Each structure stands twice: as C-alpha cells, then as structure tokens.
C-alpha cells in the first residue's frame, strides 16, 4: 500500500497565504474596474451633456441667425474621428445640422443639469445620447443631440483598468516575494531545531538551545527538552544498571569457575564433593540473580501495561503465601495469612494489574522476610501476611502487609532499602545470604508501574513491616472488565505450624 505524501508546512503556508493574497488582488481589480466603469459612464455622459449645452448656448446667442452660424461651429466641434461623435440639430420641422437619423428618444434616461442622457440604437450601433432643448419665441424648440458609441467608453474603461491593474500586479508580485521570504525566515528555527536534534547522539543528549526560538515554538522545544532529559536519565540509569549487573554477575560466575576448577583438580573425593556443592550454590546464586534482573526488565513500563487485567489482591496474596508454606516449614517459621476488613473473605479486592508481577512483589517480600527471621528464637520465627482495604487521598486501595519478628532494619539503612544492589551491613557476619540486593528494588519498580506504593515500618513488637498498596478499581469498571483466572481457595486465617526437628 503506497504511503501518503508527507505534508509540507512551507508549501501549506505559502498556499494559504498566497492564495488569499491573489484573491484579494483579483477582487481589488474587479472593484477597481467597476469603479472605473462607473466613473467613465459619468464622465462621458457629462462630456456629451456639456457639448450639447455648448451648442445650445451658441443657438441662444445667434438667435435668428442660428441656422447660418451654428452648423459650421457644430461641424468643427464634432469632426474629430477619434471621439466618434455624432450629432443632430433640428426643430422638428426641419433639420438644421448633423445626422437626421439619430433618434430623438431612447432608454435608460437620466437627467444631467439641462440635458437628458439616454441610450439608443443608431445605424446598428448602441450609442449614448445627450439631448438639450432650446425654446424659441415662436415655433417648435430646437433640439440638440450629441451621441457617442457605447464601445468607446468600454475602451476608456479598459484603459483605466490597465492603469489600475499594473500597480496591483506589481504589488501582488512583491507580496508573493515578501510572503516567501517571511515564511522561510519563520521556518528557519524549525530547521535549526532539526539540525540540533540530528547532532544528538546516545551519549550526548543535550537540551535544545531556546535562545532564538520564537515564543510559539517554545512549547515544542520545551517538550523536546523534557523528553531528552527523560531519555538521558533513562539511558544513564540503564548504563549504571548494566554496569552494576555485570559487576554483580561477575562474582557468582567467578565463584562458579573457581569451584569448577577445584572440583576438576581435587584428588580427594570428599574435596570434590565439597567443591561440587559450592559450585551448585554459586550456580544457584547466579540463576537467582539472573531471574531478578529479568524481573526488573519486566517491571519497566511499556508493554506490561497492555497486559493488565482484573486481579483479586486478596486471593493473589493468599495463593502466593500458600506457595511459600513448604519453605517456611523448612525454616521452622510460622507463615500466617489474615484478612482484616472481611473475615469471611467473600468480598474480593479487585485491582487492575499484571498478576505475574504482583505475584513477584509478594514473593520477594516473603523471600526477604524468610532471610532475616532467625529460626533459633525462643518464640519461633513468625511471618504474617495481612490483607485489608484502606483509603489514601480519597482513593480506595488494597493494602498488603508482610510483617516478621526478625531484627528489623536499622534506621540508617531504611532510606536505601529500595535502591538497586543495596545490601544491609552486617548481614554476611550474621550468616544471612543477602543476595544481590535486587528483591526490594523489584518490588518498588513494580509498584511504580501499578501506580501503587511500598514503604517500610518497624513492626510494633519488633521486626520489619513492609506495606504494599495498590489502587482498587471502581465497581462499574469491575463489572465491565473480565477478571483474570486466579485460583480461589478457602481464605480463612491460615498458618503453617513450625515443625520440630
């Protein structure tokens, strides 16, 4: 399928400016021609009336001698072939001078001082005639008529039109040149902006210089600069993440290589067995770190947002906790679940989200809690998952709390809990495998993707408490949107009892 031709802003501006300018010049020419025609009509009619009136004055002056003195004078006045004048002087009974076939009546009659001007046909030609009557002491009045073909005034009007249109055409041409230059000058900032963007690379995303950018284009350049800033921040974060991930992967991979060499060179079977166990542990750490890096990648905004479905947060929390019961039992830890706002668990807490990522949130919090709950406590290790409903800033939210009775987090480290690759001090000495420091960072990023939140509190009775909040959807939206298939089991308060070993 052929692609549509790209629209040119320059051509569009020139077309939309030059077309009205040309139309304005055309309308001005038509109006000028109409005014010239009206003016010509008036001037020619006035000229004919003045000629007829001049003859009438001569007749009045000549008196009884008019029949002798007026004809030579009239012949001299109307003998110019350029003017194409025709005249007639008569008293009704006899012709005094001129063309006797010139009609005495016509149409479109108008009065102009002492003369009447009308239009008539003479020898197959339309003529405009001015007629003046001079009363006599006795007998009929003398009628003086002066006529001129109408085509003569068309010629005069055309001359007027040419005289008017030539300056208009020159002005139109000058206007086109001015429009062309102005459009090009005003589009130069866009060309400079494109050149500035073309000079950008993935390593130098500098903001566009807005010093000489017009005010009307600054919203565009401002949006571009904001986009470049976000891209620069994202790229810097990506480069830092790749560097940190490479550094973190280097340690377990180096350990894998070292233990593999030890297993290959060991002569004692017992040493080989120990090296193989260490090799497997190092490989497990590398696999866990790789899975966490993949989880971080999945938590990036974009295509994951398109996979959001309706999720019952209460059922998801219970089912995820149930998956961790065997591991809690192996650690001699009591893992419990409770629903505070609805003890019967009949009312689902529906949120819009990605069930895989939300499952990862709860799983990471449980994994983090199991790492730090000491199984040697007299009262036993305890982890409780609590689900309830709360309102934050007039928004209904599902609240999931994962609380343990471990040592908690020192206040000096709480601000860095959700940073990538952060691991608390003193964990190695306590014999805790703190991992790569990505679990809580994954939780934070997934919550950002779901427009939710996660934060830490010290548990009232000692230990750590992580609070996750996800916005709930409205009942009307919940009814229109199909729910995801989340396995539902009986959600009474459940515990995994510690096992005595």
User: Residue 121: how many CA atoms within 13 Å on its side-chain side?
Assistant: 2
* 178 found inside a domain: no
Residues 44 and 120 in one domain: yes
Flag whether 176 is in a domain: no
pLDDT in tens, 417-431: 777 666 665 444 444
Question: Using N-to-C axis directions, what is the helix angle for 269-298 and 355-372, rounded to 10°?
Answer: 140
Looking at residue 400, what is its pLDDT?
93
Q: How many Cβ atoms sit within 10 Å of the Cβ of residue 409?
A: 19
Q: What is the pLDDT of residue 47?
A: 86
- Domain finish residue from 298, 323, 341: 298
Q: pLDDT for 148-192, tens place per residue?
A: 888 877 777 777 778 877 887 888 888 888 888 887 777 777 777
Identify the domain boundary among 298, 321, 346: 298
Q: Output DSSP code: residue 306.
A: G
Whether 492 has a pLDDT exceeding 60, the answer reads no
Question: 140 and 286 share a domain?
Answer: no
DSSP letter at 204 equals B
324 within domain boundaries: yes
Residues 130 and 79 in one domain: yes
Give the residue with greater pLDDT, 146 vs 235.
Answer: 146
Cross-strand bridge partners of residue 335: 383, 496
Residues 464 and 489 reside in one and the same domain: yes
| Contact in structure between 374 and 381 (CB atoms under 8 Å) | yes
Identify any residues that bridge with 330 across adjacent strands, giving them in sequence order: none
**Confidence tier at 269 by pLDDT (50, 70, 90):** confident
pLDDT at 460: 83
17 by DSSP, 3-state: which? helix
Specify whether 82 is located in the same domain as 113.
Answer: yes
Per mean pLDDT, which range of 1-5, 64-68, 465-469 is the poorest? 1-5
- Mean per-residue pLDDT for 29-40? 80
- Sign of the CA dihedral with 273 first, then 274, 280, and 283 last: negative
In a domain, 166, yes or no: no
Q: Could you tell me if 318 and 262 lie in one domain?
A: no
Name which of 181-190, 219-228, 280-289, 354-363 the model is least confident about.
280-289
Residue 215 DSSP label = G
Write down the pLDDT at residue 424.
61
| Residue 411, domain CATH | 3.30.565.10
For residue 470, tell me if it sits in a domain.
yes
* Residue 320 sits in the same domain as residue 264: no
Instruction: Evaluate whether 54 touches 194 at the Cβ level (below 8 Å).
Output: no
pLDDT, average across residues 217-246: 75
CATH number at residue 96: 3.30.450
Distance separating alpha carbons of residues 22 and 180, to the nearest angstrom: 14
Residue labelled with tokens 């993440």: 241
Q: Are residues 62 and 209 in the same domain?
A: no
Count of domains forming the chain: 3
**Can you name the residues that pair with 399 across neighbouring β-strands?**
388, 469
Residue 181 maps to a domain: no
C-alpha separations of 457 from 154, 166, 353, 383, 461 in Å: 99, 87, 25, 15, 11
In a domain, 185, yes or no: no
414 and 313 assigned to the same domain: yes
Question: 273 and 407: one domain?
Answer: no
Burial (CB < 10 A; 0-12, 13-18, 19+), residue 91, is: middle
Q: Which of 158, 191, 223 is the last residue of a domain?
A: 158
- pLDDT of res. 316: 92
DSSP characters for 92-155?
A: SSSEEEE-TTS-S--EEEEEETTEEEEEEEETTEEEEEEEEEE--SSSSPEEEEEEEEHHHHHH
Q: What confidence category does residue 468 fall into, taking pLDDT thresholds of 50, 70 and 90? A: very high
Residue 239 maps to a domain: yes
Same domain, 152 and 65: yes
3-state secondary structure of 266: coil
- Tell how strand 309-312 and strand 453-458 pair up: unpaired
Indicate whether 222 and 323 sit together in one domain: no
Question: What are the pLDDT digits (tens) for 368-401?
Answer: 888 888 765 555 788 999 999 888 888 889 999 9
Range of 467's domain?
Answer: 306-496
């Amino acid at each position: 399928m052929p692609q549509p031709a790209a629209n040119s802003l320059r051509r569009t501006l020139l077309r939309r400016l030059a077309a009205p300018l040309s139309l304005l010049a055309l309308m001005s020419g038509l109006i000028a021609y109409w005014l010239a025609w009206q003016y010509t009509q008036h001037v020619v009619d006035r000229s004919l009336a003045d000629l007829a009136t001049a003859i009438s004055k001569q007749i009045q002056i000549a008196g009884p001698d008019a029949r002798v003195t007026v004809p030579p004078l009239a012949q001299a006045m109307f003998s110019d072939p350029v003017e194409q004048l025709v005249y007639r002087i008569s008293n009704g009974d006899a012709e005094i001078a001129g063309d006797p076939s010139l009609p005495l009546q016509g149409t479109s009659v108008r009065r102009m001082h002492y003369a009447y001007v009308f239009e008539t046909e003479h020898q197959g030609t339309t003529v405009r005639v001015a007629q003046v009557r001079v009363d006599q002491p006795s007998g009929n009045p003398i009628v003086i008529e002066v006529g001129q073909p109408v085509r003569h005034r068309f010629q005069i009007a055309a001359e007027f039109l040419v005289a008017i249109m030539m300056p208009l055409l020159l002005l139109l041409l000058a206007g086109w040149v001015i429009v062309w230059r102005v459009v090009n000058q005003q589009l130069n900032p866009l060309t400079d902006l494109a050149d500035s963007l073309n000079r950008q690379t993935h390593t130098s995303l500098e903001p566009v210089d807005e010093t000489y950018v017009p005010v009307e284009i600054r919203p565009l350049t401002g949006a571009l600069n904001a986009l470049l800033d976000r891209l620069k921040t994202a790229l810097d974060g990506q480069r830092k993440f790749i560097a940190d991930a490479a550094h973190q992967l280097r340690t377990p991979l180096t350990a894998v290589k070292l233990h593999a060499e030890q297993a290959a060179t060991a002569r004692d079977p017992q040493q080989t067995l120990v090296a193989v166990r260490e090799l497997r542990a190092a490989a497990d750490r590398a696999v866990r770190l790789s899975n966490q890096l993949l989880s971080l990648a999945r938590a990036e905004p974009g295509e994951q947002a398109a996979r959001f479905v309706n999720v019952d947060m209460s059922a998801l929390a219970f089912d995820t906790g149930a998956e961790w019961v065997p591991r809690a039992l192996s650690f001699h830890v009591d893992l419990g679940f409770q629903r505070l706002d609805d003890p019967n668990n009949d009312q689902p807490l529906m949120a819009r989200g990605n069930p895989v990522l939300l499952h990862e949130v709860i799983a990471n919090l449980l994994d983090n809690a199991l790492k730090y709950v000491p199984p040697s406590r007299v009262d036993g290790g305890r982890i409780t998952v609590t689900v309830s409903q709360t309102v934050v800033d007039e928004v209904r939210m599902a609240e999931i709390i994962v609380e343990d009775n471990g040592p908690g987090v020192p206040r000096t480290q709480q601000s860095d809990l959700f940073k990538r690759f952060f691991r608390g001090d003193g964990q190695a000495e306590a014999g805790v495998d703190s991992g790569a420091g990505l679990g809580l960072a994954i939780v934070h990023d997934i919550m950002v993707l779901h427009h939710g939140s996660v934060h830490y509190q010290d548990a009232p009775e000692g230990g750590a408490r992580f609070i996750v909040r996800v916005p709930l959807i409205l009942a009307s939206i919940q009814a229109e949107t199909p729910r995801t298939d989340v396995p539902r089991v009986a959600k009474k308060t459940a515990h995994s009892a510690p096992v005595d070993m």
